[in-house]
Each structure stands twice: as structure tokens, then as C-alpha cells.
């Protein structure tokens, strides 16, 4: 397998600042790190994950969302970091770049999806609708 380029904690933090400036959902949204160690732990887990770049991307998106390392914008940050991770590693990111994907991100946060479903979503942009029961 070719060398994989991983994001740094600093780059992920930069993206959090960027997405909160670009997409402010709530007035209280602010770029604030709750735990840089959680970000580092996610990156380490991604590096340790066996499988292809998409398997690693699943761990990356889930890790950023679920570790809640930021006060605001965890899902938005996870989306853009994962997109860049795949593109930098010459893989397709076929998730539509629109607000309708926010429900999927919520489903990832709540462990609604299996890793294989998230992988399919990242590769092909298709996933079952997230609904709370």
C-alpha cells in the first residue's frame, strides 16, 4: 500500500476554526478545543487501523464526531477533515456536500450505522436514512 497521508492535530484544529467561520449554525458556535489529546488519540487510532484508506476514513470521521474534542462543530469538522483525507490519498469522496447529510452525521454520532455502511457512504454517497426509533 502506498504511503498514507494523515492529518495532524493542528490541521484538524484549523479546520474546526474554518468551518465555524464558514458555517455558523448557532450563535453560540465558537472554535474552542475541549481536548487536544482526544484529537491525537483519534489520529493514532486511524494510523493503527488495518484495511484500506476508506477503513481508516471511517475511523477518522467517527472518531472526530464521537470524541467531541471541540465545543462546537465536531460533525462539520469531521466531514471536511475526512473529505480532505480521502482526496489527499487519491480516493473519491462521493458524499454530497449539502445540509441533508447532517442527519447522517447525527446517525454516526449516535452509532446508528455500522462501519461498513459508513464506508459505503464515503465511497458512493449512499446510506440508509437516519431515523430515531
pTM of the model: 0.92
Domains and CATH numbers, the chain: 9-22+33-124 (1.20.120.1870)
Point out which residues pair with 70 in neighbouring strands: 33
> Tell me: the pLDDT tens digits for 66-92?
999 999 999 999 999 999 999 999 999
Please tell me the predicted confidence (pLDDT) of residue 133: 60
Distance CA 18, CA 14 (A): 6
Residue found under cell 468551518: 19
Distance CA 98, CA 29 (A): 19
Q: Is 26 exposed, middle or buried (0-12, 13-18, 19+ CB in 10 A)?
A: exposed
> Tell me: the pLDDT tens digits for 3-41?
999 999 999 999 999 988 887 667 677 888 999 999 999
Point out which residues pair with 113 in neighbouring strands: none
Amino acid at each position: 500500500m502506498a504511503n498514507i497521508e494523515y492529518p495532524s492535530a493542528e490541521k484538524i484544529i484549523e479546520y474546526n476554526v474554518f468551518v465555524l467561520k464558514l458555517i455558523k449554525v448557532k450563535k453560540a458556535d465558537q472554535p474552542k478545543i475541549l481536548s487536544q489529546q482526544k484529537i491525537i488519540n483519534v489520529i493514532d487510532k486511524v494510523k493503527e487501523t488495518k484495511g484500506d484508506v476508506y477503513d481508516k476514513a471511517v475511523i477518522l470521521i467517527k472518531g472526530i464526531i464521537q470524541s467531541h474534542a471541540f465545543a462546537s462543530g465536531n460533525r462539520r469538522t469531521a466531514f471536511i477533515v475526512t473529505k480532505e483525507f480521502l482526496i489527499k490519498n487519491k480516493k473519491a469522496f462521493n458524499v454530497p456536500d449539502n445540509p441533508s447529510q447532517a442527519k447522517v452525521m447525527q446517525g454516526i454520532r449516535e452509532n446508528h450505522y455500522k462501519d461498513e455502511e459508513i464506508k459505503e457512504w464515503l465511497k458512493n454517497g449512499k446510506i440508509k436514512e437516519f431515523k430515531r426509533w
